[in-house]
Structure 1
Amino acid sequence: MTGASPQVCEPVTTSGTIAVMNLHAQIDGLAVRLSRTATGEAQGVRSAVPQGAALIDLLNLRGHLLGRVADYERAAELAERLVHVAPEDGTALLARARSRATLHRFAEAAADLSAAGRSGADATALDAERAVILQALGCHADAMALIRTAAERKSSFTTLGALAVLQADRGEVTEAERLFDEARSHYQGTSPFPLAQLDFRRGVMWHREGDIEAARSCYEAARCRVPRYVPALGHLAELELLSGSAHTAVELLRPLTRSSDDPEYAAHLATALHTVGRVHEAKQWRERAAARYDELVLRHPEAYADHAADFWLGVGADTGRGLELALQNLAFRQTHRAQALFQRAVLAQNRVAQTAP
């Protein structure tokens, strides 16, 4: 089954390159203003909570777009400081919930949402964040109920996009395609980021379905919107590997290993280099990815145990470590993907045991 290609020419948005430059400038400007406020009285610091929350959201956005784990960590640290100075501020609690959810600390994020609700935070915003957490935990029916309620109140780009992604996660491809198209038709902004993210998630759906050309079309659409969109470029490299174009994958991945501190791209580069016969260089990138995964699993196990398990079951070539991390990931969330990863790890470990002398 071949998916429909996104219409990359409409709607018209700001240049992705300029938008990324503006994002950097926004983050730097807010950081400077907050650092000045931090030297003032506690009351002044509390009054800066909205700016701090805005900075947290921008850091998380840049972290996703450019593959920067450091941005996620910086956002998490700032969120902790905001709640420390304004422990009953709904805006601060909501910002910390988003940041914790980004690092897959879902139980803590849910607790923050409850506290934000008691502090008078907007119910619609809280439900949107709860839906994200429920979806990540595999509670699709509960997430669907929350998003559909929001859609009944207002059929906006955001709610329709959330429904599309949820249906894609559930494997309801036909309905997801309809919703992806409907969401695009509701977009009224000028930023390229929301549309690029929508195209990327559409690509992930087709990637999982095994439709390489449909996935490629969506990833290219996201790349067209935001040329430096690291996850889209990384997934395009994966498709090149699947298609037997390892040299092209190498060219796509090299710049990502310089701009991103996420070890996923170093791991994929190691795989691509090994495929083209550059074994020594592949070994160097494999070791770099292994060290970084060990570091991230230690600091953020909920967010990186699954990615690290996938690494060790693949180019990392340590099925025992892969099984250990897959089991750890399964303890965090009992989703279909977590179970599939665990089963894959068990089978890999069994194959190693059967071939051992």
Structure 2
Amino acid sequence: MSTGIKPGLSAGPVTTTGVIAMRNLDARIEGLTDQASRESLTGAGWGELVELTALRGHVRGRIDEAEHAASLADAFVDRMPRDPRSRVARARLAACFHRFPAALADLDAAAALGLDRRSLDEERAAVHQSAGRYDAALALHRHALSRRHDFSTLGALARCHAERGEAADAESWFMAARHGYRGVSPLPLAVLEFQCGQAWLYRDSPAHARPWLESATRRLPSYVPAQARLAGIDAGQGDAAVAVGELRRIALDSDDPYYEAQLAGVLGERGEWGEARFWRARAAAHYESLLARHPEAYADHAAEFWLTVGGDPRRALRLALWNLALRPTPRARALVERARRRVGEQQENQRLVQIGRRFAEGMT
């Protein structure tokens, strides 16, 4: 795997090592959890516990940690229902699981409880962005930027352009945010770099994506989503053996079927059908479970799975259409079009098979 830095992409701000950062993260979560068990956790502590648990789940590729963060947010509301921060914490996790009406309702409740307008606008912008309402999100992000140019506001604007499919514009804002980072933890910076890399992957530009993803993994070697995207690039560039080894390790450690499906696809392309079927079956079972628990959040990834290694384009189309109704984003529209084309191809193949059978029967 290459370790070169993209021309123009410097090493960036100096931060603590990823190993130390993850140890500190684990220790902080453990300490806050202990305070919560003794009912001595403050409102600020509750908010931090929810946020750090969700962050750790993202870095480790663990859906169960995100679910735990959501349960902690519910507990925060139960214990401090008059604290607007509890509603903000729950809104963030609701948006994470694509329950956008619930997220906005919690933000309305936070406003009624006295949340300041600036914080409210930032949270609403994040929800609008996740829901694909980019014009509303951009207006709020630009208003925030008119008040301050810091890592948070620049990064939020970068992510919005990235999700709109505007990778080049997004990269400019990502660079500005990266340059403006003043912290010492590698975690926020690694997440930012991963998001820029992913923006380029969405534009099918692995050469632009790789330097950002490599920078993220240099800062945070245990960063599972970035590792998996790099493995996908390696597989696409002919280094499938390395990719398979990396993806096997990730698929065993993570509970996200995205990685199992990714591994099944690479194995299938290599002709390793037995192991590919094993990982495909695991991914299918896990997607079934996730769709039962969090249908809004996993409709898109499940549709992608059934469209590719899952081998059921009709089901993929149903899920893709539902996802588009929930989140009218460019990627959601593209997924629907891909599924429609695949269903059409499947129907045409079936028609040709039927014609062939009738012809064969007529010859006998």
Q: Under TM normalisation by the shorter chain, which class is it?
A: over 0.9
Q: Distance in 2 between matches of 1:61 and 1:122?
A: 24
- Asked if 1:233 is matched to 2:236, the reply is no
Aligned to 1:6: 9
- Asked if 1:54 is matched to 2:54, the reply is no
Pairing 1:175-324 to 2, within 5 Å after superposition:
175-324=169-318
SS at match of 2:81: coil
SS at match of 2:38: helix
Range moving further from structure 2, 70-79 or 335-344 = 335-344
Shift of 1:95: 0.6
CA contact (8 A) 2:164 2:329 kept: no
What is the TM-score normalised by the length of structure 1?
Answer: 0.93
Aligned to 2:357: none
Within the candidate set 324, 328, 333, 1:334 is matched to: 328
Deviations along 1:145-170, whole A, 9 cap, x unmatched? 11111111111011011112222223
Aligned to 2:99: 105
Q: Distance in 1 between matches of 2:271 and 2:83?
A: 56
Deviations along 1:54-107, whole A, 9 cap, x unmatched? 111001111111111011111111111221232232011111011111111111
Q: Distance in 1 between matches of 2:17 and 2:276?
A: 35
What is the TM-score normalised by the length of structure 2?
Answer: 0.91
Q: Distance in 2 between matches of 1:122 and 1:15?
A: 35
CA contact (8 A) 2:307 2:316 kept: yes
Pairing 1:8-157 to 2, within 5 Å after superposition:
8=11, 10-37=12-39, 48-157=42-151
SS at match of 1:53: helix
Q: Distance in 2 between matches of 1:4 and 1:97?
A: 39
CA contact (8 A) 1:326 1:338 kept: yes
CA contact (8 A) 1:161 1:180 kept: yes
CA contact (8 A) 1:246 1:275 kept: no
Q: Distance in 1 between matches of 2:27 and 2:106?
A: 29
Q: Distance in 1 between matches of 2:167 and 2:274?
A: 42
Deviations along 1:137-194, whole A, 9 cap, x unmatched? 2222211111111111111011011112222223334432322221122111001011
Aligned partner of 1:12: which letter?
V
CA contact (8 A) 1:309 1:325 kept: yes
Aligned partner of 2:9: which letter?
P
- Give aligned-pair identity as a percent: 46
Aligned partner of 1:30: which letter?
L
Q: Distance in 2 between matches of 1:324 and 1:157?
A: 39
Aligned partner of 1:252: which letter?
E
Give the gaps of 5 or more residues in structure 1: 38-43
CA contact (8 A) 1:5 1:217 kept: no
Aligned partner of 1:185: which letter?
H
Aligned partner of 1:6: which letter?
L
CA contact (8 A) 1:5 1:218 kept: no
SS at match of 1:315: coil
Shift of 1:196: 0.7
CA contact (8 A) 1:6 1:221 kept: no
SS at match of 1:189: coil
Aligned to 2:340: 346
Change (3 A) 1:271 1:293: same
Q: Distance in 2 between matches of 1:213 and 1:346?
A: 29
Shift of 1:322: 1.1
Aligned partner of 2:33: which letter?
A
Shift of 1:257: 1.2
Aligned partner of 1:66: which letter?
R
Shift of 1:347: 1.3
Aligned to 2:361: none
Q: Distance in 1 between matches of 2:57 and 2:164?
A: 26
CA contact (8 A) 1:160 1:182 kept: yes
Shift of 1:241: 2.3
Aligned partner of 1:221: which letter?
S
Shift of 1:336: 2.2
Q: Distance in 2 between matches of 1:117 and 1:76?
A: 20
